[in-house]
Structure 1
Amino acid sequence: MSSLNQRAPWRGQISAAGILIGCIGCVIITASSVYTALKMGALPWPTIFTSITALVLLRAAGRTSLNEANVTQIIMSAGSMVAGGLAFTIPGVWMLGLDAELSWIEIGGVALAGTLLGLVCTALIRRRFVEESDLEYPIGTAAAETLMASRAGGATGKRLFGSMAAAGIWCALRDLAGVIPAMIGALPIPGVAFGIYNSPMLLSVGFLVGGAAVAFWLAGGLIANFGIIAGGSAAGLWDVASAQGIVSSLGMGLMMGSGIGVVVRDILPAAFRSAHNGRRDDDRANAPARAFGKLDRSVLSLFVATAALLVCLVLGLSPIACAVVVVLAFVTTIMSAQSVGQTGIDPMEIFGLIVLLVIAALGESDQVRLFFVAGVVAVACGLAGDVMSDFKTGKIIGTDPRAMWIGQAIGALIGCAVSVAVMCALLNAYGADAFGPGKLFVSAQASVVATMVSGIPSVPAFVLGLVAGVALYCLGIPSMMLGLGVYLPFYMTLSASLGAAVKIAYDRVASIRNARANGNVAANADTGAPDETSHEETGIIVASGVLGGESIVGVIIALASVASGLLG
């Protein structure tokens, strides 16, 4: 970024229409992201969805600038990762029965401190990790391709909002009217939650994640539920309760091992290469400082100071612990940027756990404060990972970095308020007992954090999972997905697998159609080649709309429940 007092083209890339659309979209996307993260134990990247939505709505308003659309989608999507950082950590407080010790002011302090640190970090590392590196940022690259394709016309808008409406109606019939069952094909297998969850959202998650990753997800579910729980208990190796403790510990170990694997395989080698590059990397390291004007540095310093005060005064950590959190937040956001740039995966709660363990080693024993630490870091890492992908999009299509950073700040700060409000609304509507494995809100990542704070059911299984997670990731095997399958209830795994099966069938039908179209083109070369990627974009559009429809309706139902309770 250049100095804030310098007039630059970025002003033309932020419009009143873009800000208005972005802010409204941010409220909706953030609220639905909280629900999605708590309900599904996962948070698919919203970038493609928001890019398409921004294009459709801006074109309806008579605006066609791709850069304006990019800034608008950044505003829309930034809050979602703030929501993810909170949803992946804070509900663990309720799982441990500590909800009486947690206020909305403290949740807000976690969100705001993490957001401010994330904003500062993205400003500092953008040049190094986007402009000067060869990191791919697959999500950001895909968003750029979507924007450049400029296909978000009337048909795309109809698909997007039509699928969103259909999913919303379906879920209203299921959750409000009760005319559609929530579970199909349930079987009474001891210790195994077998069945198909009637959730358009889960189907769309499986569709978007794809066959290969979901195959490991399913493999983890089969090993855990039918190998360890059903098979092991039938063989007399352990009882069902012990088997469930082994499974949860193994799943946590695999997920945490995958996060450590990111550091071992991806981040440390890059750091060593940079260390051996000598003066050239020293110059690069100083580049961010040269990129900021005096007013810029003052603003960023104010953000850091405010975050530190929030951690000390609102969250109650000691000054030493506060300093460690701030420093390690910068370190972990760099790790997040590296991970997202190489793999498209951002294990934000794992980075939060790393800092949590450091703070615990320094003598902090208050469990709620440890959750605060994990939450601050997870929010910062989630925000950094998301927006670094957006910066990659901007680099490809030529969006000014300052415009993107301002959009990030707007969306992230709105996301703070919305995510805190939605989490408190869900807590008031359903109670603390609704959060945890096998309950209404699975909150898988928060459960991992809670277990690390309160104690691990099976230490040997956790250690085995930890080692296996690191080794598998280093071998190129998605141990995070394997661990997710081990940890989550089997009905969720099975339902997502059906979505992946739909994706395989969909791709097969599209491949046959493309082959036929190619044959027609060969017969008449003047007609040009058919578009072989349109079916993929259509699938993403419809699946994103379906996912958004259920999550939005879920939030609306929760808010309506709170409102009726207040009025009653």
Structure 2
Amino acid sequence: MNTSNGRAESREQLKPAGIVVGCVGCVIITASSVYTALKMGALPWPTIFTSITALVVLRALGRKSLNEANITQVIMSAGSMVAGGLAFTIPGIWMLGLDEQVSLPQLLAVALAGTLLGLVCTALIRRRFVEESDLEYPIGTAAAQTLLASSAGGATGKKLFGSMALAGIWCALRDVAGVIPAMVAALPIPGVNFALYNSPMLCSVGFLVGGAAVAFWFAGALIGNFGIIVGGSAAGLWDVATAQGIVSSLGMGLMMGSGLGVVIKDILPKAAGYLKRGRATGTGAAQDADDKPGMLGSLSRMDAGALGLLTAAAACLACLVLGLSPIAAVVVVALAFVTTIMSAQSVGQTGIDPMEIFGLIVLLVIAAMGEHNQVKLFFVAAIIAIACGLAGDVMSDFKTGAIIGTNPRDLWRGQAIGSLLGCIVSVAVMAALLGAYGAEAFGPGKLFVSAQASVVATMVSGIPSVAGFGIGIIAGIALYCLGIPSMMLGLGIYLPFYMSLTAAVGALIKAVYDRIGARRATAADAETTHEESGIIVASGILGGESIVGVIIALVSVASGMLG
């Protein structure tokens, strides 16, 4: 093993300045990710945003290494996946009125268990899924191209942080001063929340997702609200309340069916191939172990021991703090390895990580084993969702590193730093939001939609329309296998109409912006292309409103404690 080269690379790429900048960014990005996931029912990948931010900040400090910038953005973004795994599952506990049965130490134990399992799994599968596979990892590849092509400087920084400031001011004027209304153009349609949500962040989500995906999102909203609720009620097929139950069940079924479609279409057909390839190349891998940098190449005894200890720590947290039986804890750990492989495969092929779906699958397995405590089932789903979310993020970052030449051991260390810090930040922010707004603020049509967590809550407590849910699962699998984004269709059916309409406005803005950009394609931009500028501004707007939203919640909690 060539340890001297590894240490030299580590000293060059993992530096104190990058760690400090990354940790500061991790706190901000993780906090805003919790808010975004709860508020919007979605969590856009932060990788491009953090890549640009890392470049801007490090260059302002006189640092020009792309690899240092890459590790810095890894630290920044890792906590967001921990935040997503928690936000997509745990609020379901509050929706069912079980919040008093959950303590902060338990939430922290859930976050730590999922993070440790995610880190262990990615250390074990990196080589197979990055170096020895043909998976594209579109998010990681795009981040690498951004780092390679960007000459980010002062103007880019002004666009990024200027848009953050404007969105933050807008949020404060709306939610604190009350100068700007939250909803505009509302119409009194029974069963339909028809309005435009005055949210730059939601417009930015529509802008960043854009195109066909938002078109299917909005189509789902039209089908659910005006087809089933308005049309079905007018035809006398059901009343409005029944229609709303059908819509929510159908939407949840489509989203879950889409996740199962990823498994059926993208993962299972290739799983046997990877296993066969692994057996065929196992001898060769052992022969070139000295050419790999330790833990993330071929494992040394020390590396294997360290990963074993992390796995044991996760199992102990599940047993001693969360109250799972030893057998259930072992099953959760074993299935975490299976589902993180599925997650790595999904992200590598599509850039999509249905982390909460993998959590639901393991939840159902544990429930089938005889575990009926609802809170513990939520804990299981959260652990798996965090592990899978982190795996998708880590593997994309490894792909970025493979393209630009970043030391994989340093990348893994950066992920460990960011994700462990993200555990603390995400739990603190969720507790602050719960304290500021109460459990009644979470759920469909409420302040924090928490769409994915609502799906988990419904699976635990009971489905309003079993027929609608079953049709949704079958349709979700079929549509995904046909290449139709059934996840977005289901999201549109499930979410309140005002959210889908506002996101559609954002996508419309993107279409107009792209058309203007095409006309100006011959004009040179000294720093960024037209498309990059749009991504920078939209990312800044998304981050600005979500960060201020978290600050407002923290101030509200502090005021209540002082009062």
Q: TM-score range by the shorter chain?
A: over 0.9
Deviation at 1:10, TM superposition (A): 2.0
446, 457, 460: which is aligned to 1:439? 446
Query: 1:134 aligns to what SS in structure 2?
Result: coil
What corresponds to 1:122 in structure 2?
122
Query: 2:193 aligns to what SS in structure 1?
Result: strand
What value does the CA root-mean-square deviation take over the aligned residues?
A: 1.8
For 1:319, give the aligned amino acid. Answer: P
What corresponds to 2:184 in structure 1?
184
Q: Does residue 1:550 correspond to 2:545, yes or no?
A: yes
Query: 2:151 aligns to what SS in structure 1?
Result: coil
Deviation at 1:272, TM superposition (A): 2.7
The separation in 1 between residues aligned to 2:528 and 2:520, in whole angstroms, is 12
The separation in 2 between residues aligned to 1:319 and 1:375, in whole angstroms, is 18
CA contact (8 A) 2:86 2:111 kept: yes
What corresponds to 1:567 in structure 2?
562
What corresponds to 1:320 in structure 2?
327
Q: In the TM superposition, what whole-angstrom CA distance separates every residue of 1:289-333 from its partner, at most 9, and x where no partner exists?
A: 971222211211111010000000101000110000000011101
Query: 2:520 aligns to what SS in structure 1?
Result: helix
For 1:484, give the aligned amino acid. Answer: L
The separation in 2 between residues aligned to 1:532 and 1:547, in whole angstroms, is 22
The separation in 2 between residues aligned to 1:313 and 1:5, in whole angstroms, is 41
The separation in 2 between residues aligned to 1:170 and 1:204, in whole angstroms, is 14
What corresponds to 1:522 in structure 2?
none
The separation in 2 between residues aligned to 1:71 and 1:40, in whole angstroms, is 28
CA contact (8 A) 1:437 1:444 kept: yes
What corresponds to 2:429 in structure 1?
422
Q: Does residue 1:539 correspond to 2:534, yes or no?
A: yes
CA contact (8 A) 1:82 1:415 kept: yes
The separation in 1 between residues aligned to 2:312 and 2:326, in whole angstroms, is 12
The separation in 2 between residues aligned to 1:17 and 1:272, in whole angstroms, is 44
Deviation at 1:161, TM superposition (A): 0.2
The separation in 2 between residues aligned to 1:79 and 1:513, in whole angstroms, is 38
What corresponds to 1:66 in structure 2?
66
The separation in 2 between residues aligned to 1:3 and 1:298, in whole angstroms, is 18
Q: Which runs of 5+ in 1 are unaligned?
A: 518-528
The separation in 2 between residues aligned to 1:456 and 1:242, in whole angstroms, is 12
The separation in 2 between residues aligned to 1:533 and 1:561, in whole angstroms, is 39
Deviation at 1:2, TM superposition (A): 7.6
Deviation at 1:8, TM superposition (A): 3.9
CA contact (8 A) 1:245 1:457 kept: yes
Alignment of 1:336-485 (within 5 A): 336-485=343-492
The separation in 2 between residues aligned to 1:154 and 1:530, in whole angstroms, is 14
The separation in 1 between residues aligned to 2:442 and 2:45, in whole angstroms, is 23
301, 304, 313: which is aligned to 1:294? 301
Query: 1:168 aligns to what SS in structure 2?
Result: helix
Query: 1:325 aligns to what SS in structure 2?
Result: helix
Q: In the TM superposition, what whole-angstrom CA distance separates every residue of 1:243-298 from its partner, at most 9, and x where no partner exists?
A: 01100110110000000000110001111323455842545887889712222112
For 2:111, give the aligned amino acid. Answer: A
CA contact (8 A) 2:127 2:297 kept: no
For 2:400, give the aligned amino acid. Answer: T
For 1:558, give the aligned amino acid. Answer: A
Deviation at 1:151, TM superposition (A): 1.9
What corresponds to 1:264 in structure 2?
264
- Identity within the alignment, %: 77
Deviation at 1:11, TM superposition (A): 2.2
Distance 1:456 1:61, change over 3 A: same
The separation in 1 between residues aligned to 2:4 and 2:499, in whole angstroms, is 48
The separation in 1 between residues aligned to 2:98 and 2:131, in whole angstroms, is 45
CA contact (8 A) 2:203 2:507 kept: yes
Deviation at 1:387, TM superposition (A): 1.2
For 2:147, give the aligned amino acid. Answer: L
CA contact (8 A) 1:3 1:293 kept: no
Q: In the TM superposition, what whole-angstrom CA distance separates every residue of 1:313-358 from its partner, at most 9, and x where no partner exists?
A: 1010001100000000111011111111111111100000000000
For 2:468, give the aligned amino acid. Answer: A
CA contact (8 A) 1:274 1:281 kept: no
The separation in 2 between residues aligned to 1:467 and 1:2, in whole angstroms, is 52
What corresponds to 2:292 in structure 1?
none
The separation in 1 between residues aligned to 2:4 and 2:240, in whole angstroms, is 61
The separation in 1 between residues aligned to 2:384 and 2:2, in whole angstroms, is 27
CA contact (8 A) 2:150 2:528 kept: no
The separation in 2 between residues aligned to 1:532 and 1:58, in whole angstroms, is 17
CA contact (8 A) 1:164 1:547 kept: yes
The separation in 2 between residues aligned to 1:444 and 1:553, in whole angstroms, is 22
Q: Which runs of 5+ in 2 are unaligned?
A: 290-294
The separation in 1 between residues aligned to 2:169 and 2:475, in whole angstroms, is 43
The separation in 1 between residues aligned to 2:37 and 2:448, in whole angstroms, is 9
Q: Does residue 1:211 correspond to 2:211, yes or no?
A: yes
What corresponds to 1:15 in structure 2?
15
Query: 1:196 aligns to what SS in structure 2?
Result: strand
Alignment of 1:20-169 (within 5 A): 20-169=20-169
Distance 1:391 1:96, change over 3 A: same
CA contact (8 A) 1:275 1:281 kept: no
CA contact (8 A) 1:254 1:469 kept: yes
CA contact (8 A) 1:3 1:294 kept: no
CA contact (8 A) 1:333 1:381 kept: yes
The separation in 1 between residues aligned to 2:281 and 2:561, in whole angstroms, is 59
Distance 1:333 1:511, change over 3 A: same
The separation in 2 between residues aligned to 1:496 and 1:106, in whole angstroms, is 35
TM-score, structure 2 normalization: 0.96
What corresponds to 1:525 in structure 2?
none
What corresponds to 1:520 in structure 2?
none
CA contact (8 A) 1:18 1:68 kept: yes
Query: 1:387 aligns to what SS in structure 2?
Result: helix
CA contact (8 A) 2:123 2:296 kept: no
The separation in 1 between residues aligned to 2:469 and 2:169, in whole angstroms, is 42
TM-score, structure 1 normalization: 0.95
Distance 1:275 1:397, change over 3 A: closer
Query: 1:7 aligns to what SS in structure 2?
Result: helix
The separation in 1 between residues aligned to 2:56 and 2:255, in whole angstroms, is 37
The separation in 2 between residues aligned to 1:143 and 1:27, in whole angstroms, is 21
The separation in 1 between residues aligned to 2:146 and 2:123, in whole angstroms, is 25
For 1:537, give the aligned amino acid. Answer: E
What corresponds to 1:487 in structure 2?
494
Query: 1:338 aligns to what SS in structure 2?
Result: helix
CA contact (8 A) 1:2 1:402 kept: no
The separation in 2 between residues aligned to 1:482 and 1:152, in whole angstroms, is 36
CA contact (8 A) 1:328 1:355 kept: yes
For 2:342, give the aligned amino acid. Answer: M
The separation in 2 between residues aligned to 1:458 and 1:349, in whole angstroms, is 21
Deviation at 1:7, TM superposition (A): 2.7
Alignment of 1:523-538 (within 5 A): 534-538=529-533
Segment of structure 1 superposing worse, 257-266 or 3-12: 3-12
CA contact (8 A) 1:182 1:199 kept: yes
